[in-house]
């Protein structure tokens, strides 16, 4: 027989096998779906990082063992297509029983397609029986009080969060030993800069391509913004208008328009100097590179350090052939001879919130089961298992992280952050367009300031106008929802208190925004 | 597409352009035709159909529920279908029109007409006061740039029509904001603030009373930098019987403590700071506040 005939026969056989396999899959799927003795629960999320999917699968198997007749299916959707996927599922009425809330789900969709779980979060989690959290309302068993699942506009809880993250500096311990003779990380900013200089010298001496810090348009800002936010700590407190130890993006924009700070302000000059210094320790052209490029460089042993979040911990601990260590993102301390006067101290991570809560779409036919599974995975034993298996940070109180991620646990003793130049859309655009100037030769800071100062103020104004526009929408919407909740309270005596609670919360939030809107309007009219 | 039952129009649905498509004979037809049909089964079918119809028909309550969950376009359909002789449904339609997307001048004008009719029908009724309030909100926020003078007049008229109604009192608070904002001279600001304070002192609605203290606090601080008056108003907000959200309360506690410290009242400052430390265990400012507490205690 000719070889072409063999190929044809083989091709047909393969086609037949594929067809038979498809028929079998469809048949078994339909059979499973129609099995009256099995209830199937599906949940979808975009956390495709190493460790998460396996840990969630194991949680699902644990739950199935506890509840015979229940089958749990995990649906993993890549982050890039998640918004489109989730929109299609919600609008088409085919959404799974639990969906990670976030990308592609705004407040209007949350209100339209999801069931609030506010009534449930005040009840104790039955899976905490026997643990120190027994009898504690479910909401209060979360490290952040379940704020990650609360929607301020709608004044309701819509999901239980499973994920929390902080950012740190990863380093190659073997390479560190080669360069310094020890694998101990730097203890402060000055030591890190010294280490970076030693690394460059090592690279030249050994004729080996090694950069001190792996940078990319994703990783570099993590480090640079940390330095910025530290250097503007005192300035932020001085500029804060309300004596509340807080300086938000809007106050920053207002102060910029009032000429209370600019790029010549000493704290900003120092921030830019440090950013320029850090950028020179990254590989050339890093702002054109992606996250994967920086990770790849680090994994190849061609970069000593990389700044990223705890979400990369499992990947970065397991993939490289060398041992990896972690240390806190460095910023100058108040004792630093040159920069210390701008800094209050290490920033607090009290504000770190859980994110990406799993919510229950209103088309789910398994609301109670979905709620129960959520209680199971966020209970103290459930979250302990998830944390141990995934290597991610815990979201539930009294859960111990695995040793490797212990350095990622939020540090609570610290000071509020200052501000950065990339908090608002237009300012971010102006700064990022000119960022490369900071890392070039010949007076980079001055060149950056000369190019950015003018456009920065216009951009700040545009951002403030945008904030005002958003705020008008928030205020006008709140009028409508407050009225609706008050009317519903008048018509439903049984649920009046819940409606009035919502109306009160919405009204209070609206009122704070209303006075701020009035003052900013005057500023913009001037 | 949602199935609806619209009385004389029978069963059907609205298409994307809000056009009604009837999917069966109207009840009037059934009422005329059915008695002529001797079959009992058909009569039963008719009765069952009417029951389903009443269950499917939109109640005004459904419309408010849709608004509370930000589904303004659907709420508009629900209120359009509802009995238009009921002023609550007319108010609902006006409210839904304000939230409908895309925002158009036609919707705004139609909502304005509805609110004006409702207000003029009875200025002091619950619906009339709410309609008056929304007219002021249209001038203040829905139309940009804001029509400050018109908004102030409408807020004031709403309060004058129903000074004991919670919405009337709420309207006076907003009148305070737009009026004080346009006052620039420090002396005039102080006079206006005193007048506003007197007017709002007798408020019966706790929410409106709390908001009035908020306005006083805000303007004493921003326009006059009067620390003692600001502190007094912050403390009034903090002790209001209407519960504050944590995020607001924590900020105000720090502000009250700092103002007390600056006014030289260490005991009062410590009281507010300690209240913050006890309540705001998850706040990023707690370390800084604890430091302040230690400093103040050392200075005593």
DSSP for A397-461, written as a single string: TTPPPPGGGGGGSPP-SSB-----TTSSHHHHHHHHHHGGGGGSSSSHHHHHHHHHHHHHHHHHH
pLDDT (0 to 100) of residue B57: 44
* For testing contact with chain B, the best of A242, A346, A361, A395 (most B CBs within 10 A): A242
- Mean pLDDT computed over B130-151: 93
* For testing contact with chain A, the best of B61, B63, B65, B68 (most A CBs within 10 A): B68
CB contact under 8 A, B255 and A491: no
pLDDT (0 to 100) of residue A331: 87
A267 falls in which pLDDT band (50, 70, 90)?
Answer: very high
What are phi and psi for residue A421, nearest 5 degrees?
-90, 0
d(CA B274, CA B250): 11
B59 falls in which pLDDT band (50, 70, 90)?
Answer: low
Size of interface A-B (CB pairs under 8 A): 131
pLDDT at A46 over 60: yes
CA torsion through residues A404, A406, A410, A415, sign: negative
**B-contacting residues of A 137-166, CB under 8 Å?**
144-145, 154
Structure tokens at A431: 């700064």
What are phi and psi for residue B6, nearest 5 degrees?
-120, 65
CA torsion through residues B136, B137, B142, B145, sign: positive
CB contact under 8 A, A241 and B289: no
Q: Is B211 on the interface with A (CB under 8 A)?
A: yes
pLDDT (0 to 100) of residue B11: 53
pLDDT at B235 over 90: yes
What are phi and psi for residue A321, nearest 5 degrees?
-90, 0
What are phi and psi for residue A56, nearest 5 degrees?
-70, -35
d(CA A232, CA A270): 9
pLDDT (0 to 100) of residue A242: 84
Q: Give exposure, A175-200, as e/b (b: 16+ Cβ within 10 Å).
A: bbebbbeebebbeebbebbebbebbb
pLDDT (0 to 100) of residue B17: 40
pLDDT (0 to 100) of residue A32: 67
pLDDT at A176 over 80: yes
Structure tokens at B153: 């007049």
**pLDDT digit string, tens, across residues A124-174:** 999 999 999 999 999 999 988 898 899 888 888 999 998 888 999 999 999
CB contact under 8 A, A244 and B222: no
| Sheet with B3-5, side-by-side order of all strands | B3-5, B11-14, B20-22
| Sheet with A324-327, side-by-side order of all strands | A211-214, A303-309, A167-172, A324-327
- Residue A229: in which H helix or E strand, if any? helix A220-231
Structure tokens at A521: 């309007």
Q: How far is B63 from chain A (nearest CA, A)?
A: 9
A30 falls in which pLDDT band (50, 70, 90)?
Answer: low
**pLDDT digit string, tens, across residues A12-29:** 899 999 999 888 887 776
Topology agreement, domain A35-165+353-392 and domain A167-348+412-420: yes
Q: Are A162 and A386 in contact (CB under 8 A)?
A: yes
Q: What is the 3-state secondary structure (H, E, C) of B99-118?
A: HCCCCCHHHHHHHHHHHHHH
d(CA A195, CA A203): 12
What are phi and psi for residue A219, nearest 5 degrees?
-85, -40
- Mean pLDDT computed over A438-455: 91
Chain A residue numbers touching B2 (CB-CB < 8 A): none
pLDDT (0 to 100) of residue A505: 86
- Strands A358-361 and B3-5, by their bridges, are unpaired
Structure tokens at A522: 């005057």
pLDDT at A522 over 70: yes
pLDDT (0 to 100) of residue A257: 94
Q: How far is A506 from chain B (nearest CA, A)?
A: 10
pLDDT at A476 over 90: yes
Q: What is the 3-state secondary structure (H, E, C) of A161-221?
A: CCECCCEEEEEEHHHHHHHHCCCCCCCCHHHHHHHHHHHHHHHHHHCCCCEEEECCCCCHH
Q: Is A434 on the interface with B (CB under 8 A)?
A: no
pLDDT at B21 over 60: no
CB contact under 8 A, B254 and A476: no
Q: How far is A203 from chain B (nearest CA, A)?
A: 41
Least confident of A55-59, A196-200, A240-244, A449-453: A240-244
Q: Give the percent of chain A with pLDDT over 90.
A: 62
- Strands A324-327 and A303-309, by their bridges, are unpaired
User: A511 vs B28, which has greater pLDDT?
Assistant: A511
Q: How far is B71 from chain A (nearest CA, A)?
A: 7
ipTM of the complex: 0.81
CA torsion through residues A91, A97, A101, A107, sign: positive
Residue of chain A nearest B283, judged by CA positions:
A350
pLDDT (0 to 100) of residue B16: 43
pLDDT at B254 over 90: yes
A35-165+353-392 homologous superfamily:
Periplasmic binding protein-like II (3.40.190.10)
Structure tokens at A31: 């059979």
Chain B residue numbers touching A507 (CB-CB < 8 A): 207
CB contact under 8 A, B243 and A504: yes
pLDDT (0 to 100) of residue A354: 85
Domains in chain B with CATH codes: 123-243 (1.25.40), 251-300 (no CATH)
A107 falls in which pLDDT band (50, 70, 90)?
Answer: confident
Chain B residue numbers touching A244 (CB-CB < 8 A): 251-252, 254-255, 258, 285
User: A29 vs B100, which has greater pLDDT?
Assistant: B100
pLDDT at B50 over 50: no
- Mean pLDDT computed over B210-228: 94
Q: Is A112 on the interface with B (CB under 8 A)?
A: yes
Residue A56 has, within 13 A of its CA and on its CB side, a CA count of 24
**pLDDT digit string, tens, across residues A354-395:** 888 999 998 898 999 999 999 999 999 999 999 999 888 999
Task: Select from A472, A476, A487 the Cβ nearest to the Cβ of B64.
Answer: A487
Domain ranges of chain A: 35-165+353-392, 167-348+412-420, 424-526
pLDDT (0 to 100) of residue B28: 43
User: A93 vs A213, which has greater pLDDT?
Assistant: A213
Chain A residue numbers touching B61 (CB-CB < 8 A): 488, 491-492
Q: Give the percent of chain A with pLDDT over 70.
A: 98
Q: Is B206 left (phi over 0), alpha (psi -120 to 50) or beta?
A: alpha
Q: Are A106 and B64 in contact (CB under 8 A)?
A: no
d(CA A29, CA B55): 37
Q: Please give the CATH topology (third level) of the domain spanning A167-348+412-420.
A: D-Maltodextrin-Binding Protein; domain 2 (3.40.190)
A406 falls in which pLDDT band (50, 70, 90)?
Answer: confident
CB contact under 8 A, B218 and A488: no
Q: Give the percent of chain B with pLDDT over 90.
A: 65
| Highest-scoring range by mean pLDDT, A61-70, B4-13, B60-69 | A61-70
Whether residue B102 has a cis bond before it, omega within 30° of 0: yes
């Amino acid at each position: 027989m000719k070889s072409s005939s063999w190929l044809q026969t083989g091709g047909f056989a393969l086609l037949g096998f594929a067809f038979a396999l498809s028929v079998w899959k469809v048949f078994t799927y339909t059979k499973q779906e129609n099995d009256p003795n099995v209830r199937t629960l599906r949940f979808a999320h975009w956390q495709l990082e190493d460790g998460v999917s396996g840990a969630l699968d194991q949680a699902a198997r644990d739950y199935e063992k506890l509840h015979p007749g229940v089958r749990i299916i995990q649906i993993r959707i890549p982050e890039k297509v998640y918004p489109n996927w989730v929109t299609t599922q919600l609008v088409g009425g085919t959404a799974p029983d639990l969906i990670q809330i976030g990308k592609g789900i705004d407040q209007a969709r949350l209100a339209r397609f999801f069931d609030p779980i506010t009534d449930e979060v005040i009840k104790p989690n039955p899976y905490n029986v026997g643990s120190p959290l027994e009898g504690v309302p479910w909401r209060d068993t979360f490290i952040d009080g379940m704020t990650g699942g609360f929607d301020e506009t709608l004044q309701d809880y819509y999901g239980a969060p499973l994920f929390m993250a902080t950012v740190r500096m990863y380093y190659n311990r073997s390479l560190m030993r080669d360069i310094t003779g020890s694998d101990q990380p730097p203890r402060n900013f000055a030591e890190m800069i010294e280490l970076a200089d030693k690394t460059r010298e090592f690279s030249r001496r050994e004729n080996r391509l090694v950069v001190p810090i792996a940078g990319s348009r994703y990783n570099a800002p993590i480090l640079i913004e940390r330095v910025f936010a530290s250097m503007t700590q005192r300035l932020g407190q001085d500029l804060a208008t309300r004596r509340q130890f807080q300086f938000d993006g809007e106050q920053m924009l207002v102060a910029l328009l009032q000429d209370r700070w600019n790029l010549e302000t000493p704290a900003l000059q120092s921030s830019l100097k440090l950013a320029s210094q850090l950028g020179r320790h990254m590989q050339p052209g890093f702002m054109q590179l992606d996250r994967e490029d920086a990770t790849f460089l680090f994994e190849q042993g061609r970069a000593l350090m990389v700044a990223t979040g705890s979400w990369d911990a499992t990947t970065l601990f397991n993939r490289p052939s060398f041992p990896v260590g972690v240390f806190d993102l460095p910023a100058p301390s108040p004792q630093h001879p040159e920069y210390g006067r701008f800094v209050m101290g290490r920033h607090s991570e009290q504000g770190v919130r859980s994110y990406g809560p799993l919510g229950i779409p209103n088309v789910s036919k398994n609301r109670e089961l979905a709620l129960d599974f959520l209680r199971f995975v966020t209970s103290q034993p459930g979250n302990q298992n998830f944390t141990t298996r995934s290597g991610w940070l815990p979201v539930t109180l009294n859960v111990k992280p695995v040793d490797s991620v212990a350095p990622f646990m939020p540090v609570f003793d610290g000071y509020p952050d200052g501000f950065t130049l990339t908090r608002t859309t237009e300012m971010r655009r102006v700064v990022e367009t000119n960022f490369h100037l900071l890392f070039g030769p010949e007076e980079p800071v001055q060149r950056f300031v000369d190019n950015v100062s003018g456009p920065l103020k216009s951009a700040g104004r545009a951002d403030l106008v945008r904030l005002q526009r958003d705020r008008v929408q928030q205020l006008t919407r709140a009028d409508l929802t407050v009225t609706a909740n008050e009317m519903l309270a008048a018509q439903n005596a049984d649920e009046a208190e819940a409606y009035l609670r919502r109306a009160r919360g919405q009204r209070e939030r609206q009122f704070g925004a209303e006075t701020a809107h009035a003052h900013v309007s005057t500023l913009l009219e001037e | 597409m949602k199935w609806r039952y619209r009385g004389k129009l029978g069963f059907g649905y609205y298409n994307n352009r809000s056009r009604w498509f009837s999917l069966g004979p109207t009840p009037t037809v059934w009422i005329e035709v059915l008695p002529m049909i001797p079959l009992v089964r058909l009569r039963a079918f008719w009765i069952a159909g009417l029951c389903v119809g009443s269950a499917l028909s939109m109640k005004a309550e459904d419309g408010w529920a849709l608004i509370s969950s930000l589904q303004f376009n659907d709420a508009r359909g629900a209120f359009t279908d509802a009995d238009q002789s009921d002023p609550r449904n007319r108010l609902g339609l006006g409210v839904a029109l304000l939230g409908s997307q895309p925002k158009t001048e036609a919707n705004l004008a139609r909502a304005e007409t509805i609110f004006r009719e409702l207000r003029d029908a009875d200025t002091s009724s619950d619906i009339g006061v709410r309609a008056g309030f929304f007219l002021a909100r249209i001038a203040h926020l829905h139309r940009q740039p804001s029509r400050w003078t018109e908004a102030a007049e409408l807020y004031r008229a709403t309060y004058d029509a129903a000074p004991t109604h919670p919405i009337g009192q709420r309207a006076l608070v907003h009148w305070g904001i737009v009026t004080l904002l346009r006052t620039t001279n420090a002396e005039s600001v102080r006079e206006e603030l005193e007048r506003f304070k007197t007017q709002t002192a007798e408020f019966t609605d706790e929410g409106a009373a709390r908001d009035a203290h908020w306005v006083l606090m805000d303007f004493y601080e921003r326009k006059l930098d009067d620390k003692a008056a600001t502190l007094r108003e912050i403390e009034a907000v903090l002790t209001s019987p209407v519960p504050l959200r944590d995020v607001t309360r924590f900020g105000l506690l720090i502000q009250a403590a700092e103002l007390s410290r600056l006014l030289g009242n260490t005991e009062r400052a410590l009281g507010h700071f300690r209240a913050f430390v006890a309540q705001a265990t998850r706040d990023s400012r707690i370390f800084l506040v604890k430091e302040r507490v230690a400093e103040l205690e050392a200075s005593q």
